Each structure stands twice: as structure tokens, then as C-alpha cells.
Amino acid sequence: MKLQTSQILKDYMRSEMLPTTWCPGCGLGIIMSSIVQAIHYQGLDKDEVAMVSGIGCTGRMSGYTDFNSIHTTHGRAPTFATGLKMARPNMKIFTIMGDGDAMSIGGNHLISAMRRNIDMTAIVVNNSIYGLTGGQSSPTTPTGSKTTTAKHRTIERPMNLEVLARAAGVPFFARATVNHTASLVKMVERAMNISGFSIIEIISNCHVLYGKMNQRPEASDMIADMDNDTYRSNPALEKRSSQAVRITSPDAPFGDSEDSKNVDGFEADDRTGRGIIIENKGSVDFSARYYSMLEYLKNQKEKAGDLS
Amino acid sequence: MIEVRHGVFEIRVNKDYCKACGLCTAWCPQNVLAEDEEDYPITPGLKNCINCKLCERHCPDFAIEILPPEHPEHSKYKGVL
């Protein structure tokens, strides 16, 4: 069941800020609604939830939702969220980032937060382009697609967040799309219950900039294409990561070269797996370890005091 | 078993929030929704609505809502039975 829209608006949104400034048909609104529904179904109080966002189209999400919110500098959303989690260990933190925010300027901050295993739910909205600044190539632009900075098609390979997350040892990684909204709500709910850094990469649409330059000017076409661009992955069957996110654009003239298709054992299939790919329920997050270490040191000190 | 009900649902479109992106019309499986001359959604086939909420789920702007008869703002709301 879906939560009634009037209830979402009444209980969780700052209605005076609506309508959103996002373009008509942008998937960010779908993502915002899914996060709010997941928080509602988990029965969390609004004051226990914090939403941290960086710069970009995604950065505006913290202003529209009625939680504790921080709109921070470009790429530093995980950094601010780390400080927040250490100061308020009981808070549920959502870190909303775009692909440029998380993977290019904030790449190192994201890696450090993943490596430390800070308890937060990071949501990386991947729309394959820098939307806010006018359609420049981002780290996730598929090979062979046109952008304003790659008029003659991109020849770089896109970044694979799944492999990065695996290397940094995150306990939860999932990939969703804005087309499969019901499973997106379930994934956010599962990610919230993981102690540690849980990350969800959500494939979204930028039909206004990316789509217009790549023969997909309609939002509905671009979202419907996600059914064909992705397949439902089964983590039990896939021991290793499959392939990068949309590694070639469907219209790439020279996208089918050896270089762009076969990346170190990846198959020639350029569809992207969606679903929960890594889930480690036994993980313990950084703030819990930190506070238990403080407790241990305190006890040691008291013991030493008793002896002397 | 889920009972499929027809003809009892109402669809409310908030034109203050709607940006006429066409996602709700594209996803409607029962041809309930259509676009008017300004591309806003209208409901010519309202009696076919089955409350699947695909339009609501795909609406990025919280502009469309299906009201079941149990909802207090439905025109034939009879109160809690």
C-alpha cells in the first residue's frame, strides 16, 4: 500500500516550499516521496530523523522535507553527517547526494565515510549528468552519450559505485530506479535498519538535459527505459559485482568497442543489476564502537583508581 | 484475495503543484487519465479506476491523489463504520 499523498503533504513536507523547483517529470520527487514513506512505515518520529544534503538538484530535498535538515557544501554531505552522528548517536541520518556530489567532488569524503562505517543511509541519485549547472559530463555519464562538454560523445568509462562500495566494505548496497517505486520504498526501509553505512544508488532521469541530447526528451520514455536498462539481480547468485552502470549508451556509434564493453571480466551485457546487492546484518557502526571504547577506557581508569 | 473495485474511487489533481509532466497519464494501466489541451491530467475514464496508485507513485510533485471511499475527503464518505 502507498501512503496517501495528502498525509505525506500534511505530516512530512514543508508545504510552503512547494511546488518544487525541479523540472517537470524529474525523478527526485519520486525519490523524496519514497524516503518519506519508508520513514513513515518504520514508525520514526520526525525529530529523530535528519536529512543532510549537498549541492545540486538533490540538495534541495532537505529543504522540502520537514525533518532536521542541513544543506551543506558541495560533496561534504557525508562529512557533516559524520559529525552529526557522533554528536547525536540515536539519530537516523539520511545523506542525499547526486552523482556529481558523491562521486566526483565528494568522492574521497564518501570513501572515508564508507570505510569508517558510520551509521547513515546514503542515497546517491544517479542521473548520469550534472543537472543543475547545465548538463556537463559527470563520473557516471555512459560511454557514447552526448553532453554539453562532450559534444562528440563521451569516451570515458562511467564509475561503478558498487565496486567502490564493495572495496570500502560497506554493509549494505542496493541499486534502485525511479521506475520501480515500490521496491525503492522497501530498500530504504531495509537500509535504515542496518547498523553502519548503507548506500542506495538510485538511477534517476534527467530528460531535460541528458535526455534531450540523447534522443529521450520525454520523462515517461526515459523512466520506462529503465525497465530495459536494468535487470533484477539476485545477490545469492552473483558472488562478484557484474558490470558498471549503463556502460554504453544505447545509441552509441562507437560504444560497442572492446574497451567500452569488456571491463576486466564484465560481460558484454550492458544492463545494470538492480536490487539489494550487499546486505550484512551483523555490522556494528562507528559511533557504537566509539562509545563502547569510551566506556571501556572509563572502566579501566576506575579500576586503576581503586587499586592505588 | 484482493477484491478489485470499480467506479468508487475519486481522483483529485492539485493544479497548484502539477507541472503537466505526463507521467501519471503514461503509467495509467486502465486508461483512466488523459491530458487536456494544457497537458494537465483529466479523468475521462474514472469508472475504470482500480486504485493501483501507479499515478500517485510516479507523481514527482504530490499533485495527484486517489481517494478511496474510506477517505474523509471522498464525496460519498459515510464515516467510520
Share of chain A above pLDDT 90, in %: 43
Give the count of Cβ contacts less than 8 A between chain A and B: 67
The set of residues, in sequence order, having a beta carbon less than 8 Å from that of A142 and lying 6+ positions away, is A128, A154, A158, A245, A246, A247, A248, A249, A252, A255
Q: pLDDT by residue (tens digit) across A243-280?
A: 445 555 656 555 454 444 444 444 445 677 788 888 88
Q: What is the C-alpha to C-alpha distance for residues A76 and B17, in angstroms, rounded to an integer?
A: 31
Q: Residue B66 pairs with which residues in a beta bridge?
A: B11
Judged by CB atoms closer than 8 Å, whether chains meet at A24 and B17 is answered as no
pLDDT, tens digit, 9 for 90 and up, residues A206-251: 999 998 888 888 888 888 888 888 888 766 555 544 444 555 565 6
**ipTM value for the complex:** 0.90
Of A27, A182, A220, the CB nearest to B26: A220
Q: Give CA separation, A22 vs A49, A56, A186, A268, in Å.
A: 23, 11, 25, 35
Are A20 and B61 in contact (CB < 8 Å)?
yes
State how far residue B47 is from chain A, nearest Cα, in angstroms: 20
Mean pLDDT for all residues in chain A: 85
How far apart, in whole angstroms, are the C-alpha atoms of residue A6 and residue A38?
Answer: 16
Distance CA B57, CA B70 (A): 19
Chain B positions in Cβ-Cβ contact with residue A4 (cut-off 8 Å): 65, 71
Q: What is the pLDDT of residue A269?
A: 54
| B57 with A26: Cβ contact below 8 A | no
- Which pLDDT tens digit goes with each residue over A138-157? 998 888 888 999 888 888 88
Its pTM surpasses 0.80: yes
Angle between helices A28-41 and A5-12 (to 10 degrees): 80
- Residue A104 pLDDT > 50: yes
Q: Give the model confidence (pLDDT) of B8-61 as tens digits.
A: 888 989 889 999 988 999 999 888 999 988 889 998 888 888 888 889 999 999
Cα A167 from Cα A261, distance rounded (Å)? 22
How far off is chain B from A220, nearest CA to CA, in Å? 5
Cα(A13)–Cα(A32) distance, integer angstroms: 10
